[in-house]
Amino acid sequence: MSGWPEARDHSGSDRRRGRRPRLSPDPDSEGAAARGGTASEDQPGDPEQVARSICLRALTGAPKTRQQLADLLAKRGVPDDAAERVLDRFGEVGLIDDAAFARAWVTSRQAGRGLSRRALKAELRAKGIDGEVAAEAVTLVDDQHEWDAARRLVARRVAGLRRVDRVTAERRLIGMLARKGYGGGLASWVVREALDEDAAAQDAAADEPSDDGPVDVRAGSSERHPELGLDAWLP
């Protein structure tokens, strides 16, 4: 009867009470890696994986040039050698294509904003596109494209400038085209052409008789009876 009491089995009791037995942490688990165990892919211990993740996230929204991605990686502190290897690999598989980016940029910006070749080339160079690649891309825009785009830009603004004098209107329209990259000669010609056409259209509209004016009954009666003179209408 007298003896040491038997040890109780707490595991069954814990299970009955809904408790789970404590387990030792797994050194290879995700939690252990986050606490300082095995380094995860996004930690600074793997700069190439970090660079790949940054580039893929950046490319998800819109295409980017190689220089844009390089600047982004440098800003995030990725070492230059790791960034170069990742960017080279992305170029090999076609995820980075500066020539295709330049062609798409020229087509979109010229159609949507009416930019000249000079302005388009400047934008491409600002995004890190090589000069030869940019020059080749802007060949998609020829002289006729520039003339047509300039005329469309001016036509949108002419009506709003009718309240100002001719000199002021010319200055504002030429300045607008200059900001789009157009030279002075083309801009002056297109602006004068548009203002002349608008003035001629306004004069023609003013000379047209109005169909909604008051009707002179007596004049109408006189036309119906040409034998009656004006004296017939006197009291």
CA distance 53 to 73: 10
Average pLDDT over residues 64-84: 95
List the Cα angle 157/174/159 in 5-degree steps: 20
Is residue 122 domain-resident? yes
Average pLDDT over residues 151-166: 94
Tell me: pLDDT of 76 over 70: yes
| Packing angle, helices 66-75 and 80-92, rounded to 10 | 150
Q: Is residue 121 located within the same domain as residue 158?
A: no
Residue-wise pLDDT for 119-154, tens only, equals 999 999 999 999 999 999 999 999 999 999 999 999
Distances (CA, A) of 24 to 9, 14, 33, 46, 222: 20, 17, 15, 28, 116
Tell me: pLDDT of 157 over 70: yes
pLDDT top residue among 5 and 58: 58
Is residue 36 domain-resident? no
User: How many domains are contained in the chain?
Assistant: 3
The pLDDT of residue 22 is: 45
Domain extent, residue 181, equals 142-203
Is residue 15 domain-resident? no
Tell me: pLDDT of 207 over 90: no
Q: Is residue 146 located within the same domain as residue 191?
A: yes
Q: Is residue 132 located within the same domain as residue 174?
A: no
pLDDT confidence bin for 67, thresholds 50/70/90: very high
Q: Is residue 50 located within the same domain as residue 88?
A: yes
Average pLDDT over residues 162-169: 94
- DSSP for 136-201, written as a single string: HHGGGS-HHHHHHHHHHHHHHHHGGGTTS-HHHHHHHHHHHHHHTT--HHHHHHHHHHHHHHHHHH
The pLDDT of residue 46 is: 87
CATH of residue 62's domain is 1.10.10
Q: Is residue 64 located within the same domain as residue 107?
A: no
In this structure, how many other beta carbons lie within 10 angstroms of the beta carbon of residue 1?
A: 2
Q: Is residue 115 located within the same domain as residue 128?
A: yes
Tell me: pLDDT of 229 over 80: no
